[in-house]
Amino acid sequence: MKYIIIGAVAGGASTAARIRRLDETAEIIMIEKGDYVSYANCGLPYYIGDVIKDRNKLFIQDAASFKKRFNIDVKVRTEAVGIHPIKKKVTLLDLDTQKTYEETYDKLVLSTGAVPIKPPIPGIHSTNVFTLRNVHDTDLVKAVIQNQKVKHATVVGGGFIGIEMMENLTHLGIETRLIERAPQVLAFLDEDMAKIAKTEMEAHGVTVDVNNGLSEISDNPDGSKTIKLENGEEFQTDLVILSIGVKPNNFLAKSAGLDIGDKGGVLVNEFMQTSDPNIYAVGDVIQFQHPVCEASYPIYLAGPANKQGRICANNIVNGNTKRFKGSVSTTIVKVFGKTIAATGVNSRMLTNHSIKHITSITHSASNAGYYPGATQMVIKIAFNPETGVLLGAQIIGEQGVDKRIDVFSTFVQNKQTVEDLMEFEQAYAPPFSSAKDPVNMAGFVANNIMDKVMEIFNPEEIEHLGADKFLLDVRTPTEFEAGTIPNAINIELDELRNRLESLPKDKTIYLFCEVGLRGYLATRILVQNGFEVKNLTGGYRFWKSTYGLLVNTSEKIFI
């Protein structure tokens, strides 16, 4: 059997290596347009930022080592320019000689990845304006930073690459401005969680523009650029990184007549097989059914691409026996001192797909609070209010975020419930967790909501509370004096039972504490005394970090 894999890096390289492990006699040819076969493209921003100092550490395999170890014929600097499914042939272009030739195949794998989006903005193709998708792009950016006096950089786009480049440029001492046309950075987050991320960036000196896109780039006589934004603002910069987004590199697939999805990805079945039974596809180029929203989406992540490569290889060698169950888009990114992660589907996307859900916010320590070094995490989960099935989770914190998001990912993948979160058994010792892990706590709170032990309200509802609503702060007077939500009155939790006559029974009481726990205890007291009560999910701390401003002492009301 003769296999041709078009595209290397994550999906293509893992497919080729797995085929060889399964079939020692196979003829395997891997086609790569660039110079490099297998490299850590997720590490490119950190090489630019000198976090990774040795460039060679980015490379996993080269063409020679692939040939030696796997007996795979790797053709670098070779572009596939046409696929002929009926003849089962591929037309290839040698980029060095500019000569074309054909190769036959029994099975073909497309791993052509994604290409950067470059909208028709004036000046977008000028010097010192870069995208960052491969080693060549990285070398160009690195050279400009090392050889020119780059004092200011502009990053366009608040996705993964944009955020990582923003952080690494800042680490190099370069003043950095981030521009995002959407209402928020990091689209995989809910808007309130994204506000916390934005605050972290601004705390490290980054200027962050949201709801404001790039309008024009113009050259200045001194070599700098003038950036014009959609709101008319202009400023000067020395370097521009475009991270506006990517789209599936579907040119070959389209020209071969393969089925393409509404998002531009090559449609594949659960076996990674395209509409042509002899052609498979993996990685960023494909579009696949999302297991939560049951809609078809591309997933631009290295982890799923590698797993797809293994499944694809099994199927083309042994027949379609291995199924890809889809990706729940588990993601993580470092933003200065914070780790930000998510899995499943955020509230905005659930709403767009008309999926019933409730969100719940908890604050928990990374390990036992009495053990040195514990730091706080904010955890937001979305779940079905009728079945309790977990639909998504988002976490922002300093430590322990990665291991908790991996737990939530497993629960989302397996369609488990918030009751399962309550019973999750973690490895516990004070340096690593608490007896009630943050995962458990998220489950406990969600279960209280489902069982109607506690009714909640969200921070965004506060500004819309009418005159018939009663806003109650159950924190201590000292906490209240330091800052509270406008129009709130203060009765400390421990005094609440003695002050019931001060509270109205003809109004809904909207109460809050610092993070939600005392609010829950207050809810139980008041509900059992005949009051209608809602507790602020995430508490004052979350409201303050996402929606709130401190009010003057004169505006505080004690009763």
Active site residues: 42
Cβ neighbours of residue 466 closer than 8 Å, sequence gap 6 or more: none
Q: Which of 243, 221, 364 is nearest to 300 (CA)?
A: 243
DSSP assignment of 522-545: HHHHHHTTT--EEEETTHHHHHHH
Q: What are phi and psi of 225, to 5 degrees?
A: -120, 150
Encoded tokens for 459: 């921070």
Residue with tokens 């670098």: 76
How far is it between the farthest Cα atoms of the chain?
89
CB 310 within 8 A of CB 14: yes
Distance CA(539)–CA(523), nearest Å, equals 13
Relative to beta strand 114-116, strand 246-248 is antiparallel
8-state DSSP, 75: E
How big is the chain by its Cα radius of gyration, in Å?
27
Question: For every residue of 238-274, which 3-state class applies, written as one string?
Answer: CEEEECCCEEECCHHHHHCCCCECCCCCEECCCCCEC
Q: Determine the residue type at 194.
A: A
3-state percent breakdown (helix, strand, coil) of the chain, nearest 5: 30, 30, 40
CA distances from 231 to 154, 181, 216, 228 (A): 16, 11, 11, 8
Q: Determine the residue type at 550.
A: L
Distance CA(7)–CA(153), nearest Å, equals 32
Distance CA(61)–CA(407), nearest Å, equals 32
Distance CA(51)–CA(54), nearest Å, equals 9
DSSP assignment of 296-330: EE----HHHHHHHHHHHHHHHHH-S----------
Distance CA(48)–CA(55), nearest Å, equals 9
Encoded tokens for 73: 């014929």
The angle formed by the CA atoms of residues 384, 390 and 394, to the nearest 5 degrees, is 115
Signed CA dihedral, 449, 452, 453, 454: sign only: positive
The angle formed by the CA atoms of residues 534, 536 and 541, to the nearest 5 degrees, is 160
